[in-house]
Structure 1
């Protein structure tokens, strides 16, 4: 039990750092945009540039983690994340801020994959989706509290938001001394390693799940994380603290739902909950243009949060089923890479849609397009995913 507690601390701490870089910064986006005099469609770059390193580095770091062990990747990643994140607070130009955000993204690149890989290393059978649900609850607690803290800090000055990543440094020290699990793959002939992985991702079910993975982060990071703060500020004139509370309410509903995910899975199949979640994304976002009072945003954040708890941990549990100890970190890192693509594309695509509709319905166009996108992904999943005989 004591050993499990040690691993829980490591897994859950890494999970919290994996979401800190975006969740804490989102309420500060309007303030950062105002400080650097950015165009409305440009402040999404603060999110996108953070995600870009993961597109290139996450699979490489996953391979290194499979080959040499988790600790050798996680510890330097946490240290870089903390130091580069703090350096954002002293950036004098927007270009310098983006540079440090890029470096912080390098540090964050592996964290969101290796936390899940560690769950796969340590837990098996019915325990795995249960722990995945607990991990998502912890993630949701982070995405609930970090926006509130970030909103309060950015209400004083946006620079204070970038002090928060410093907490990654003591976590790195803890991992250095207490992660003693031997999780190196047993067979690491590099050519065989990658050829088996390429064969793996040709599986139609896995490919379909990976499409869902990239799509859910396009929806999350674009219409929700980047432009809900815009709607809150520009349409309802809310201060950063209240913007943080609105974003946090989504994570509270996610956390509560994810905690009971194991119970839901006793009554519903993985794919059924995933379909409900995709439909819920469209419903939550499609309602936003209809609101004429700021507190109505809580309706969408609650629906979005419940939907997210059905989509993200479910898709991760379904994806990890395709891996073994030799390629688990690489597969989850590849999945993480796709999520980083989604994180990078979401704000940019949403900004492009905003510009397209700027002479008409403006930001509401983002949410109309989001409904179409969510329904399209639901259709793709329903058509191409064939339920396996067994899915733990």
Structure 2
């Protein structure tokens, strides 16, 4: 990989970093927002969920447009839209007495922008390299940037909110502008633009791909949704109990939330570097990752000590970090370049389904015993391991 490609990768990696910060940075601040706006757990969780629902709907559209117009021509305007959404949420929080509805509107705008940003980065990396090992390494860096954003999010969000509760909203457009500048000047993907087929033909092509490769693609889509559902649900739960049960607030709470995410980020980076183009290794990484996640989440059922809970979540983060880069690589390398934007957008949509569903469902489960949360997470993690073992067949892709 030459120097120009490395700079392009680093610039592209700023997009998942920014998009992750734009969403995950709010998680440690949600209890504070709940108090400031006098709303319920479920209402505050919608600030995360509504952003993700909009992205779910529009990601496939962004994938199609990126295949038609080119990746940069979709990513840069999408970042502008995300910046506008962030500015709206910041402005109304500052100026209005009851800004909740307008915050949701701003988050909808931000979700529109996010649909054409992070999901289009994955096929863009695939376009840049012919060698599958370089693709895996590049996707590992992108996934690491994504998880690094999750590590920084609780610390940065808590720090900003310690000054003014809505300051994290204002930070989003600043980050988007920085990423736009990097993409404009440093990213030069190959010109993969071609005359896109009519929508009807496009949908038929996607259907044909899913008919041909759906036996392993659809389980990977589902696995992406499951792993993000567990991750964002657990983060929402941990943010809530750290403040309400253990009276840990501000930057200290952010630091504690960052600990399991740091293990996820480091593992993701190492996994992306090591798996190369070995699809058999990817399958076993996914199986092992889900098994580690399921087994370690049994620990908080029996031990309620906060230190033991954090240790179990650190190990769970390792499991997620092993699985995620392998899922990304299998999807990206398993389809032809011409169809990559469309198929990876469906995968990204499923990941956002998990992000959208996790916080509100966990908010409802938190009305009962904590164990309900862990029973559900363990069941889904073990189901993920079974799906990976049964349906992912490297020889088919």
Give the TM-score, by structure 1 length: 0.91
Unaligned runs of 5+ in 1: none
What do residues 312-350 of structure 1 show as CA deviations (whole Å, max 9, x unaligned)? 111111111222221111111111111111111112222
Does structure 1 conserve the Cα–Cα contact (< 8 Å) formed by 2:150 and 2:261? yes
Correspondence 1:251-330 to 2 at 5 A: 251-262=261-272, 264-265=274-275, 269-330=281-342
State whether structure 2 residue 74 is matched by structure 1 residue 62.
no
More helix by share: 2
The structure-2 alpha-carbon separation of the partners of 1:180 and 1:130, relative to structure 1 and needing over 3 Å to count, comes to closer
Partner SS for 1:326 = helix
Task: Give the equivalent residue in structure 2 for 1:50.
Answer: 51
State whether structure 2 residue 389 is matched by structure 1 residue 382.
yes
The structure-2 alpha-carbon separation of the partners of 1:243 and 1:297, relative to structure 1 and needing over 3 Å to count, comes to farther
Correspondence 1:40-189 to 2 at 5 A: 40-91=41-92, 92=96, 93-123=99-129, 124-165=131-172, 166-186=174-194, 188-189=196-197
Output the CA distance in 2 between the equivalents of 1:322 and 1:299: 35
The structure-2 alpha-carbon separation of the partners of 1:103 and 1:263, relative to structure 1 and needing over 3 Å to count, comes to closer
Does structure 2 conserve the Cα–Cα contact (< 8 Å) formed by 1:279 and 1:378? yes
Shift of 1:259: 2.5
Shift of 1:37: 1.5
Output the CA distance in 1 between the equivalents of 2:373 and 2:249: 22
Output the CA distance in 2 between the equivalents of 1:172 and 1:216: 29
Task: Give the equivalent residue in structure 2 for 1:212.
Answer: 223
Task: Give the equivalent residue in structure 2 for 1:232.
Answer: 242
The structure-2 alpha-carbon separation of the partners of 1:181 and 1:134, relative to structure 1 and needing over 3 Å to count, comes to closer
Does structure 1 conserve the Cα–Cα contact (< 8 Å) formed by 2:144 and 2:266? yes
Output the CA distance in 2 between the equivalents of 1:218 and 1:187: 36
Does structure 1 conserve the Cα–Cα contact (< 8 Å) formed by 2:59 and 2:346? yes
Output the CA distance in 1 between the equivalents of 2:108 and 2:389: 36
Output the CA distance in 2 between the equivalents of 1:288 and 1:261: 26
Shift of 1:182: 3.9
Output the CA distance in 2 between the equivalents of 1:151 and 1:117: 33
Q: How many residues align structurally?
A: 384
Moved over 6 A (4+): none
Q: Which moved more, 1:192-201 or 1:69-78?
A: 192-201
Output the CA distance in 1 between the equivalents of 2:231 and 2:104: 21
The structure-2 alpha-carbon separation of the partners of 1:386 and 1:175, relative to structure 1 and needing over 3 Å to count, comes to closer
Task: Give the equivalent residue in structure 2 for 1:337.
Answer: 349
Output the CA distance in 2 between the equivalents of 1:143 and 1:195: 37
What do residues 192-243 of structure 1 show as CA deviations (whole Å, max 9, x unaligned)? 3332211112320111111111111111122x12111012112211113122
What do residues 264-292 of structure 1 show as CA deviations (whole Å, max 9, x unaligned)? 53797111111111122223433334444
The structure-2 alpha-carbon separation of the partners of 1:43 and 1:288, relative to structure 1 and needing over 3 Å to count, comes to farther
Aligned residues: CA RMSD: 2.1
Give the TM-score, by structure 2 length: 0.90
Output the CA distance in 2 between the equivalents of 1:372 and 1:180: 43
